Amino acid sequence: MTFAADPASVLPSLALLSHRVRVLPMDAASLVKMPENTILFLDARDDLATAKTLCNLIRASGLSTPVLLILTEGGFTVVNSSWGIADVIVNSASPAEVEARLRIISEHSTGNDTVRTKSQQVSSHNDDGQIRSGELIVDTNGYTASLFGRPIDLAYKEFELLKYLVQHPGRVFTRAQLLQEVWGYDYYGGTRTVDVHIRRLRAKLGGEYEHLIGTVRNVGYRFDPPEGSEREAQAQEQAKQSSHSEQ
């Protein structure tokens, strides 16, 4: 995938390969709409400052999409590890080099799936339908939620919104995506509905815990698990594995 208007004009060799390429506008909202197992080609030949801003936004959004930065020879003097990219490639690279870099990035990303699951997906889902993230418990069977044992009085859509966010910790969703996933295709209200429900959710979580629902500027919202949730989730996972091994 690329943010360029014409992939062949940016990286000519890409047009000679069999990979499926989609073109996206070069803005923040497009980042969270990328399908899984995507490698993002980012055209940084003429505007390194904007490319760096987008790279920083990708990291801040918690997205795991690997970025392959397309540069001219002069750009190599500016880019460093702080950009958080998977690799860099010069725009005149041969088809063989492009294919090799794509293969290496793809294999590396697949190898990191297990680590990513443990480090980022820190909400645990029990067999009884309870999703636990720290002291926040969302009961998907009973349609109830509690924080530190205190019930949270939620309307139906508020509960559905909280449940969806907690099920995908650290992942950023646009307002349009949340509207589609929580309210459904047949809902004709605007995205402002999402903002209203987010405000209500934060108010009901209370001032000390409203930060659990984070805002990613110019993109959307995400659930930020409370501190200590990762250790708890890993402990529960280890307990499950020990139980299975004993059986």
What are the tens digits of pLDDT across the range 58-74? 777 667 788 999 998 88
Answer yes or no: is pLDDT of 122 > 80: no
Residue 138 has pLDDT above 60, yes or no: yes
- To the nearest 10 degrees (0 to 180), the angle between helices 95-111 and 113-120 is 50
User: Distance between CA atoms of 52 and 59, rounded to whole angstroms?
Assistant: 11
Does the model's pTM come out above 0.75? no
* Cα 130 to Cα 82: distance, rounded to the nearest angstrom: 38
pLDDT of amino acid 8: 77
Mean pLDDT within 126-144? 86
**Tens digits of per-residue pLDDT, 78-108?**
888 888 899 999 999 999 999 999 989 888 8
Q: Residues with Cβ < 8 Å from 233, sequence gap 6 or more?
A: 121, 122, 123, 124
Q: Ranked by mean pLDDT, which of 140-149, 174-183, 220-229 comes out on top?
A: 140-149
Per-residue pLDDT reduced to its tens digit, 20-34: 888 877 666 666 666
pLDDT for residue 185? 65
Phi and psi at 206, nearest 5°, equal 95, 155
CA distances from residue 234 to 57, 133, 240 in whole angstroms, order as listed: 28, 12, 10
Cα distance between the two ends of the chain: 46
Q: Which H or E run contains 231? A: helix 229-246
Give the separation between CA 92 and CA 97, rounded to whole angstroms: 10
Higher pLDDT pick, 151 / 110: 151
Q: Kindly report the average pLDDT of the chain as a whole number.
A: 79
pLDDT of residue 31: 67
Q: What is the pLDDT of residue 152?
A: 95
Give the pLDDT confidence score for residue 57 in this predicted structure.
Answer: 79
pLDDT at 133: 87
- Is the model's pLDDT at 1 over the cut of 90? no
Which residue bears the tokens 């108010």? 203
